Amino acid sequence: MATSAYAQSSSWTSFLKSIVSFNGDLSSLTAPVFILSPTSLSEYSQYWSEHPELLVAANQLKPDENATKDEVDVLALKRQIAVTKWFIATLRSQYCSRNESMGAEKKPLNPFLGEVFVGKWETDDEKLGETILLSEQVSHHPPVTAYAIANKTNNVYLQGYNEIRSTISTTSINVKQYGHALLEYRDVGESYLITLPPLHIEGLLAASPFVELEGTSYIQSSNGYITVIEYSGRGYFSGKKNTFKARIYKDQISTINKQNALITISGQWSDKSYISKGSSTPHSKNGDELFYDALASEPLHLSVKPIEEQHELESRKAWLKVSEAIKSSDYDLIHQEKSLIENNQRELRKKEKDAGIKWETRWFDLKDYEDWINEGDNESNPDIFLSLASLSNLSIHNAPSGSLKNSKYDEGEAKHWRFNLKKWEEESEIKI
Ligand code: HCR
């Protein structure tokens, strides 16, 4: 990889030194201006739906009333493949878009508590309709962003949240994601639990950071099917960057043996991938079917209201002056404008403390699953997350995303952020 002109600069070398001794909170690091992004992390929730047609696709694979059991089963597997395709299609936006638009991975602005980012994906396609995004910073220490994405035309709803925790190794930053997403296709009465892969940031010595995904993530359907996705950076599967292998199994028990895979998908999530039946690895050279070409379909970007119409808690309005200072590389102004926001936040927290109150999240609630299990009516009102976690043998605790039940991480609290539709329906200040 080419070394960027910034690699030898004193600001970069002192940044690298600060990384070596950092405390795990990446947002607390003071970074040189060329590595700062003018965009807040609260905006990253939009990456889940830059291909809205793929997000809703599974809902359109409904069996008709006279369908035989075989036809119903075939469609259920097709929906699992469709959801897997949508998920793979989100990855280029999630993990490559800053490199594509700004030349390298950048350090995003650290959202303040209560910051929101909203918008919609509009198309001329009547069948697809409009998809909306609500993203809210529900915690500042540690930073946690929650989001809800809805397409009413297709009755498709996605919600989730994420938090990161980082450690440093000799040449890279290792990041574990916490949180998960829940996807509902209400017309077919099906839901999915989606876990988030670990990642590491490479290219630090060359001052040209980029993300590599690693480990495993899961997509568990309420109909039993499970997709197990394994990620690798350059080298392991094929010598190419951003490679993955996804295997779809009938159920979690079948995952014990890779030979049980019904479908195998393999390739680069930032480029082309191929699909074949069974457990053998598909490849273009064998004439296997193209699964997804990430470079062939451009992402549809979210439409966001003009700044003048935004509420003061909306991300782009709140960070406008900092963003402009970053774009003009004015370090003193960045510092000055950032301090205004930070001091304002400190004052707010102090006032709340003095008044004995706590900041109330806007559209999301922290649901305690231990309480729910003890007090909830599990039989007549089963919880989607608990059912899917049980089907996939995944931990329900606040463990790194994708941790298995009975693994060393499967302990502690079981509190997860959930969208509260009533709160959104009662929202009077923030418009999409
Ligand atoms: C790690 C990261 C912040 C978190 C970003 C997350 C995990 C946020 C949720 C999205 O759904 C997916 C996602 C994608 C990003 O790749 C990931 C960011 C990559 C870098 C950034 C660090 C905080 C920046 C550290 C500073 C570097 C450039 C030295």
Token pair in block for residue 176: 């574990």
Predicted local distance difference test score (pLDDT) of residue 237: 57
Q: Is the CB of 80 under 6 A from ligand 1?
A: no
Within a domain: 291: no
Q: Output the pLDDT for position 20.
A: 81
The residue whose CA is least distant from atom 12 of ligand 1 is 94
348, part of any domain: yes
Residue with tokens 């997350």: 385
Q: How many whole angstroms separate alpha carbon 418 and alpha carbon 147?
A: 9
Q: Where are the beta strands (DSSP E) in 94-215?
A: 107-109, 116-121, 131-139, 144-151, 156-168, 173-185, 190-195, 199-202, 210-213
> Does 253 reside within a domain?
no
Is 392 contained in some domain? yes
196 lines ligand 1 (CB under 6 A): no
Mutation pick for ligand 1 pocket among 49, 105, 136, 208 (CB with most ligand atoms within 8 Å): 105
pLDDT of residue 153: 97
Number of C-alpha atoms within 13 angstroms, CB side, residue 102? 21
| Whole-prediction pTM | 0.96
pLDDT at 278: 97
Number of domains forming the structure of the chain: 1
pLDDT of amino acid 28:
82
**Which residue positions in the chain have pLDDT lower than 50?**
1
b/e map 271-284, b = 16+ CB within 10 Å: bbbbbbeeeebbee
CB contact at 8 A, 177 and 400? yes
DSSP letters along 370-410, please? HHHHHHS-TTTS--HHHHHHHHHTB--SS-BTTPBTTSTT-
ipTM of the complex as predicted = 0.98
How far, CA to CA in Å, does 117 sit from each of 43, 94, 135, 159, 359? 6, 16, 5, 14, 18
**Domain assignment of residue 308, given as a range:** 1-224+299-432
41 alpha carbon to ligand 1 midpoint, in Å? Answer: 8
pLDDT of residue 227: 99
Nearest to 249 by CA among 214, 270, 223: 223
233 CA distance to ligand 1 middle (Å): 16
The alpha carbon of 85 is separated from its chain's Cα centroid by a whole number of angstroms, namely 15
Span from the CA of 252 to the centroid of ligand 1 (angstroms) = 30
What separation in Å is there between the alpha carbon of 338 and the centre of ligand 1?
Answer: 20
Beta bridge partners of residue 139, listed in sequence order: 144
Residue nearest atom 2 in ligand 1 by C-alpha distance? 107
Residue with tokens 């599974």: 58
State if residue 128 touches ligand 1 by the CB under 6 angstroms criterion. Answer: no
Nearest CA to ligand 1 atom 13: 94
Residue whose CB lies within 8 A of the most ligand 1 atoms, among 173, 194, 213, 326, for a mutation test: 173
In a domain, 260, yes or no: no
Position 245 in a domain: no
What's the confidence (pLDDT) of residue 65?
93
26 lines ligand 1 (CB under 6 A): yes
430 in any annotated domain: yes
Query: For position 373, what pLDDT does the model report?
Result: 80
Distance 316 CA to ligand 1 centre (A): 18
| Ligand 1 in reach of 93 Cβ (< 6 A) | no
